[in-house]
A and B are shown apart, each in its own frame.
Chain A
C-alpha cells in the first residue's frame, strides 16, 4: 500500500539539512578549516601525551604480565606494582635487572613533565641540567627545576584542552538551562533569572575567580574548571533566552502544545535544536576564553600545584627572563590555540547565520 508513496517522495530531491548546509559553508573557509585541523592535532597530542613524551614505558611485559605504566600519569594505580618493587621511577634498568625476559615500548621522547631525569635512567642520558637552552635531548630546553620543557608542553596541551571543554561544558549546561527556563516560561521566572544574570555580569570577573580560587584549599585542575565554568555562563544564558523568546511564539511550538507535549519535551526536543546554532558560537569563543583564563591564573601563580600547564611555564619564564625558551614556546602555544578557537567560532557564526552567509560584503 505505502510503496508507491515512498517512490514518489524519493523522486523529489531532498533539500540539504541545516547542519549539512552549515558544514558546506564552513568547509569553504580556509582559515576556519585550518584551525579545526590544528585543534584536532592538539587533541591527538593531548590524548597521546604520555606516549609522546614521558619517562614510563607505554606498554611493557614484566614477570609474565602486561602493564601500561604510562597511564600512571592519569592515575597512580597503574604503576602500583612497580612502586611496590621499589622502581623509584627508573624503569629501564629495573625492568632488565628484575626480569631479563621483560620488554617495553617507550615514548617517542624521553622526559618527564614533573621531575628532572636522573643520570643512568636512560642509556646515554645525562642528568637534566637546570635552565638549559634547547638541545637534542631537551628539545625545548629545561626550566630552573631541571624539568624538561617539551614534556611539560605536551602534557600541558591536555590541561589546556580539558579546561576548554570541561569548563565550557559546565557553563553551557548552566547557561542553556537558565536561559531556556527564563525564555520559555517568562514572567517572574524570567525577571528572577535575568536579575541573577545581571548581578553575575556586574561582578568583576577576575575578582570573582580569584576569590573563588583562593577559597579552595588544595586546588586541582578540576576546581579551576568548575570555577571558570561557574562564572562564564552569562553570555550563553542571555543568548539562549533571546532565542527561546523568539522561537516559542512560532507555529510549530503552538502545534506541539495543542498536541499535549510537555514543557520539558518542548524545551529540549523542539526549541533547543533550533536554538543550538546561535548558541554554539559563544560556546566556541568561550572555550578560547577559558583556555586564556586558565593560563592567566597559572601564570599569576593561582593554578594547581601538580599539573603541567602552559601558563605555569610562562610563570617560571617570567622569573628567569634570560631563558627565552620558557616564554616563546608556551606563549606561541597559547596564542595559536586561542586564535584557532576564535577562528572556528567566527567560521561557525558565518556558516550558521543566514544573514552573513554570502560573504557579507556590500557588492
Chain B
C-alpha cells in the first residue's frame, strides 16, 4: 500500500508539472496581455515607460519558460501570485469563489447520489417491464440533454415566463436588508435552478451506471446460488446483489470529486454565479495569468487526488484487489 502510494504520488507530481507547463505556455501565447486588455478601455492611457514598468512587474518581460520556472518556484512555496485585475492574492480569489461553487456542487452531488441509487436499483431489478422502460427512456433523454440547453429552457420558462425564480446572480438586490434566515432562503432560492441543471445529468448517468452494474451482478453464479438455496427475492437483491454493485459505484463517487470544487464553467456563466468556473472564464478573457494558473492547479490537483482515491477506495471495498503487486 505504502509503496503504491509513493509511486502514484511521484507520478502525480510529474503529471502536475507537465500540465501546468502546457497551460502556462498556452496562456502566455494567447494574443494580448493583461496590459493590452486594459488598453482596450479608451480611458486608460499608459506611457511607454509605464508599460515597460508594468511588464516587469507582471513578469511579462521574461520569455515564458523562464517565467514558468519563476511561477513554479513560488507555487511550491505556497505563493500563487497576485491577480492582475483584482489586485489581491490568487489564493484569496480562489477562496472567495469556493463558497458559491460549493453551494451549488454539494447539494447537486448529494441529490444525484441519493436519487440515483434507488432509481438504478429499481430499473435494474425490473428490467424489461413497462415502467422500467419509460423510466430508462426518460433518464436516457436527460443524459443526452446538454446542461446549457436545459439551463436556457428553464430560465425561459421558470424565470422569464413565470417569474418564479430569479434569472441569475447569487442574491437579491435587497439581500443586505434581510434577516439572516431570509438571507439563507434568498441564497437557496437563487441556487435552485443552477442546482437542477447541475444535478439532472449526473443523476441520469449515475442511475444508468447503477442499473448496468446491478444487471451485471445479477448474471453472476452466486446470485443463482442464492436463489437456488431459497432466499427471498428481497434478500437476494439487497444482501447479495446490491452490496456488490456498490464496488464500482465507490469508484464513480471518487471520480466525481473534482466537480465538487471545479464548478461548471457554463452553468456558472449562464446564471452569473460568482464561482470558480465563472472566475476561470473571466480570467481567460482578461488574460489574468496568475488566476488562470491558480485555478488550473486546483483543478488538476483535485483530478489527480480523486483518481488516487478511487483506486484506494476500490482496494478497500473489494478485498480481491491488491494495490502492491500490480
Note whether A and B form a binding pair: yes
Stretch at the interface among A37-45, A56-64, A112-120, A200-208: A200-208
Say whether, besides A204-B299, A208-B23, A300-B269, A334 and B284 are in contact (CB < 8 Å): no
Stretch at the interface among B74-82, B89-97, B137-145, B189-197: B137-145
For chain A residues 207-263, which have a beta carbon within 8 Å of chain B? 207-208, 210-212, 214-215, 217
Q: Is B280's beta carbon under 8 Å from chain A?
A: yes
Q: Which residues of B contact A339 (CB under 8 A)?
A: 140-141, 144-145
Say whether, besides A212-B26, A331-B152, A199 and B144 are in contact (CB < 8 Å): no
Q: Is A139's beta carbon under 8 Å from chain B?
A: no
Say whether, besides A300-B269, A324-B156, A217 and B31 are in contact (CB < 8 Å): yes
Q: Is B67's beta carbon under 8 Å from chain A?
A: no
Q: Is A321's beta carbon under 8 Å from chain B?
A: yes
Q: Is B128's beta carbon under 8 Å from chain A?
A: yes
Q: Is A77's beta carbon under 8 Å from chain B?
A: no
A207 contact from B29, B143, B149, B296, Cβ within 8 A: B296
Q: Is B218's beta carbon under 8 Å from chain A?
A: yes
Report the Cα distance A334→B152, complex, angstroms: 13
**B245 to nearest A CB, angstroms?**
13
A211 contact from B269, B284, B303, Cβ within 8 A: B284
Q: Which residues of B contact A124 (CB under 8 A)?
A: none
Q: Which residues of B contact A321 (CB under 8 A)?
A: 155-156, 160, 167
Say whether, besides A199-B19, A202-B19, A338 and B270 are in contact (CB < 8 Å): no
Interface string of B17-34 (1 = CB under 8 A from A): 011001100110111000
**A193 to nearest B CB, angstroms?**
14
Q: Which residues of A contact B316 (CB under 8 A)?
A: none
Q: Is B131's beta carbon under 8 Å from chain A?
A: no
Q: Which residue of A lies closest to B214 (CB)?
A: A362
Interface string of B116-152 (1 = CB under 8 A from A): 0000000000011000000000001101111011001
Say whether, besides A199-B18, A321-B160, A327-B153, A362 and B219 are in contact (CB < 8 Å): yes
Contact B148 A314 (CB under 8 A): yes
Report the Cα distance A153→B219, complex, angstroms: 46
Q: Which residues of A contact B152 (CB under 8 A)?
A: 314, 317-318, 327, 331
Contact B215 A360 (CB under 8 A): yes
Q: Is A97's beta carbon under 8 Å from chain B?
A: no
Contact B127 A362 (CB under 8 A): yes
A335 contact from B149, B270, B304, Cβ within 8 A: B149
Report the Cα distance A65→B266, complex, angstroms: 51
Interface string of B178-197 (1 = CB under 8 A from A): 00000000000000000000
Q: Which residues of A contact B35 (CB under 8 A)?
A: none
Contact B15 A202 (CB under 8 A): yes
Q: Is B265's beta carbon under 8 Å from chain A?
A: yes
Q: Is A198's beta carbon under 8 Å from chain B?
A: yes
**A312 to nearest B CB, angstroms?**
13
**B203 to nearest A CB, angstroms?**
16
**B311 to nearest A CB, angstroms?**
13
Report the Cα distance A288→B146, complex, angstroms: 10
Q: Which residues of B contact A300 (CB under 8 A)?
A: 265-266, 269, 281
Q: Which residues of A contact B219 (CB under 8 A)?
A: 362
A363 contact from B22, B128, B265, Cβ within 8 A: B128
Instruction: Specify which of B141, B152, B281 lies most central, judged by the most chain A CB atoms within 10 Å of its CB.
Output: B152
Q: Which residues of B contact A140 (CB under 8 A)?
A: none
Q: Which residues of B contact A362 (CB under 8 A)?
A: 127, 215, 218-219
Q: Is B300's beta carbon under 8 Å from chain A?
A: yes
Say whether, besides A211-B23, A215-B26, A215-B30, A331 and B153 are in contact (CB < 8 Å): yes
Q: Which residues of B contact A360 (CB under 8 A)?
A: 127, 215
Report the Cα distance A202→B266, complex, angstroms: 20
Q: Is B262's beta carbon under 8 Å from chain A?
A: yes
Sample of 5 more A-B contacts, CB < 8 Å, known A198-B15, A342-B144: A195-B15, A203-B19, A208-B23, A211-B292, A321-B167
Give chain B's interface residues, CB within 8 Å of chain A: 11, 15, 18-19, 22-23, 26-27, 29-31, 127-128, 140-141, 143-146, 148-149, 152-153, 155-156, 160, 167, 215, 218-219, 262, 265-266, 269-270, 280-281, 284, 292, 295-296, 299-300, 303-304, 307
Q: What are 18 residue pairs bridging A and B, where the CB atoms are less than 8 Å apart in the complex? A: A198-B11, A199-B19, A202-B304, A204-B303, A207-B295, A211-B23, A211-B26, A211-B292, A214-B26, A214-B27, A217-B31, A299-B266, A318-B152, A327-B152, A334-B146, A342-B144, A361-B215, A362-B219
